[in-house]
Chains A and B, each alone.
Chain A
Amino acid sequence: MQLFELSFVAAVLLAATPILYAALAGALSAQAGVFNIALEGQMLWGAFAAVAGSYYTGSAWGGVLVALLSTALFAVILAVGSARWKADPIIIAIGTNLLALGLTGFLMRVLFDVSGSFSPRGLQGLPKMAFLADVPVIGPIFAGQTVLVPLAFVVIVAAGLWLKRTPAGLRLRGVGEHPDAATALGVNVASYQTWTTIVGGALCGVAGAQLALGNVTVFTENMTAGRGWIAVAAVMLVAGRPFWLPVACLGFGAAEALGFRLQGIGAPQQLTDAAPYAITLVVLVLTRIGFARRNRSRTLIDS
């Protein structure tokens, strides 16, 4: 019985980790005052780049590096477009999300001559922490996971502390809170927003790498399947505060893992697939029940 419960914890962590990395990217952007809804496309690009990188370099960590760097590069479109050129970040994000979907499918056909999914023989996935297998409690949870899973929590705590406790973090929050005041204090707003968005791209690259080389070892067309949007919802849920992200993302991870369990006992896949979205929306609504009284019609008027 205990084994069953621990394996469920492991499944929750596995489902939550890619969303955690992407949501951290979104939270940092939110703190810098950029509404970043490009997470879905960036994560998808990261997943493709990770698999392609692992295939060409023969090493899973090579794949992670390729994903991290190329997704950061992909995020430059949004970063420079919205922060420096003041273009609408929502329209750019809609465009880059479509671009990522098309480009990954296109490149899969052109480079590897397959469509649908790509998992060549000998494709290196990320190593699991099998050395933990004999440790009680920790073993059953983490032995089957990649090191990127615990690292996600470390990165989130580090980012949260950086935002809270360092001068640069304070300036970043100031940029998001009141750009004019930040400018008056000599902070380069555009530069902070640009680099935050690019770092967010790198995080989404890691999210994609964990998805394609950690959770599974394959790239499938549109394999992110809305996880980037759940990450956006998670950012809204915690109002961009990184320390709360694990709570939100583990909740979504639990919804997904529970869906798999229910499928195992015969629940139709269509309904369990919809569960994370429905639960996300319900949770968003529940956390904002007092919203109307506090800020009547604010989103529609002040946005």
Chain B
Amino acid sequence: MSTTTPPDAPSTPPAAPAGATPAPRPAARILNTALRHPAVVPIGAVVVALLIGAAIMLAAGLDPIVAYTAVVSGALEPGTLDYTFSVWGFICGMALAAAIPLRMGEFNLGGNGQLVLGGLTAALIAGYAPLPGPIVIPLAVIGAAVVSGAFGALSAPLATRFGIPIIISTLLLSPVAVAIVSYLVRFQIGEAGSAVAQTPRLPEGARMWALGDFSYSNVGLLVIIAMMIVFWVVDSRSAVGYELRVVGANRRFGAYGGVRVGRLALGAMAAAGAAAGVVGAIIVMSSPYRLIDGALISPGYTFAGVAAALLAGGRPLLVPVTAILFTVLQVGGAAMERSADVPRQLSDVLQGVVIVVLALRVVLDQRRSERSSA
């Protein structure tokens, strides 16, 4: 498997060819410098994706301006802002689950399985443990992190001992977990006599604490923000974070320099699974306070998170920013469908296009290096 190089290494400024060619005009030089800013690639990818989306809509006889306006206003109008915040939190959490392994060049595409296992664990602990709220709520979140973390970590020995790439094992494990949870909710722990496969409502004391007047966002959002801060600190300030980035930049060099790559992968996958598990726990412990079959994975938080992590190149400070984009697409997609009559699936199309454009950015780099070496 090839590795992705986190694109945060500052590219060396172009060496002025010694007297061979006339120096570029100041305007051109400023433009050249501006194009090298690290924000250019993600922003460029988004702009190109929006243009391609507009072309697709025009071809389908739809009005892209009306659609995009509906997306933005639908996601950011005051009435839905509370809901948008909570979705942003979930997408950030799932972006963490993708970004942590991405930092070392591995892909975790099994977020759905890790998400539902976390939800299941929280539903069982919060629903059945006869403990007071201040104990049971953190216990449910931690339990979800432990179970999903262990499940995510399974992929690391599968890679080191059996040579099955993490991207493949996470993808094959995920539907198994989803199916088992779906089976349990449907036939074992579901509410008797309910038409929908869902667990009984959690008792009052085991629901995630409210956050002021918000009705969707709750203390869970703060937990996710705290996880992102921890990721940022570990990534930029600790030895483990340094090892992650070294292995991501050059795996052989990392191994040669004494990094235990297998152990690092185990830790990264455990942390990734734990992040997804916490998101599952928070969703279950938020309104409507139960585990509903399919409700955790159908909004597509997992792949919105993967897209946000890829667009951010796994960088901790960029993840919450790129997550905003996919949150707006996700929440605004429904509004776009209502008011502009553009199918919601356009959001998925844009997600895919952003990733493809981002991957193809190397063309830009190549052209540049050809030009500077010419």
Contacts and interface: CB of A to CB of B under 8 A. Distances in A.
Interface string B254-285: 01000001100100000000000000000000
A146 interface: no
User: What is the interface residue range for chain A against chain B?
Assistant: 35 or more
B343 A300 contact: no
A90 B167 contact: yes
Interface string B315-351: 0000000000000000000000000000101111111
A81 B350 CA distance: 18
B362 A299 contact: no
B262 to A, nearest CB: 5
A88 B2 contact: yes
Nearest to A225: B175
Interface stretch (B14-22, B68-76, B176-184, B201-209): B176-184
Contact of B343 (A97, A110, A289): A110
17 contacts: A37-B167, A88-B4, A88-B362, A91-B355, A95-B353, A95-B355, A95-B356, A98-B307, A99-B353, A102-B352, A103-B349, A226-B175, A270-B186, A281-B158, A285-B164, A288-B164, A299-B164
Interface in B163-180: 163-165, 167-169, 171-173, 175-176, 178-180
Given A81-B356, A303-B251, 20 more contacts: A35-B1, A35-B2, A37-B168, A92-B356, A95-B355, A98-B355, A99-B348, A102-B349, A106-B345, A115-B343, A271-B180, A278-B176, A281-B169, A295-B163, A298-B163, A299-B1, A301-B251, A301-B255, A301-B261, A303-B165
A81 B252 CA distance: 25
B306 interface: yes
B356 A99 contact: yes
A233 B173 CA distance: 12
Given A299-B1, A300-B262, A270 B182 contact: yes
B344 to A, nearest CB: 8
Given A236-B164, A288-B163, A81 B360 contact: yes
Interface in A73-114: 77, 81, 85-92, 94-103, 105-107, 109-110
A219 interface: no
A273 B186 CA distance: 14
B16 to A, nearest CB: 27
Given A99-B349, A103-B349, A303 B2 contact: yes
B182 A297 contact: no
Contacts of A288: 162-164
Contacts of A99: 348-349, 352-353, 356
A162 interface: no
Interface of B: 1-4, 56, 60-62, 107, 109, 158-165, 167-169, 171-173, 175-176, 178-180, 182-183, 186-187, 251-252, 255, 261-262, 265, 303, 306-307, 310, 343, 345-363, 366
A160 to B, nearest CB: 23
Contacts of A303: 1-3, 165, 251
Contacts of B169: 281
Listed from nearest, the 8 A-B pairs whose CB atoms lie closest are: A102-B348, A99-B352, A95-B355, A274-B179, A98-B352, A105-B345, A95-B356, A102-B349
Interface in A273-292: 273-274, 277-278, 280-281, 284-285, 288-289, 291-292
A115 B175 CA distance: 23
A134 interface: no
B38 to A, nearest CB: 17
B172 A102 contact: no
A120 interface: no
A229 B172 contact: yes
A91 B4 contact: yes
A270 B197 CA distance: 13
Which of B186, B343, B346, B354 has the most C-beta atoms of chain A within 10 angstroms of its own C-beta? B343
Given A102-B352, A285-B164, A87 B159 contact: no
A281 B366 CA distance: 39
A85 B262 CA distance: 31
A96 B186 contact: no
B4 A277 contact: no
A236 B183 CA distance: 30
A86 B5 CA distance: 13
Given A81-B356, A95-B356, A292 B161 contact: yes
A42 to B, nearest CB: 13
B351 A281 contact: no
B176 A274 contact: yes
A285 B61 CA distance: 50
Contacts of B345: 102-103, 105-106, 109
A291 B2 contact: no
A105 B348 CA distance: 9
A81 B359 contact: yes
Contacts of B179: 270-271, 273-274
Nearest to B171: A229
A89 B107 CA distance: 13
A226 B2 CA distance: 23
A102 B348 CA distance: 5
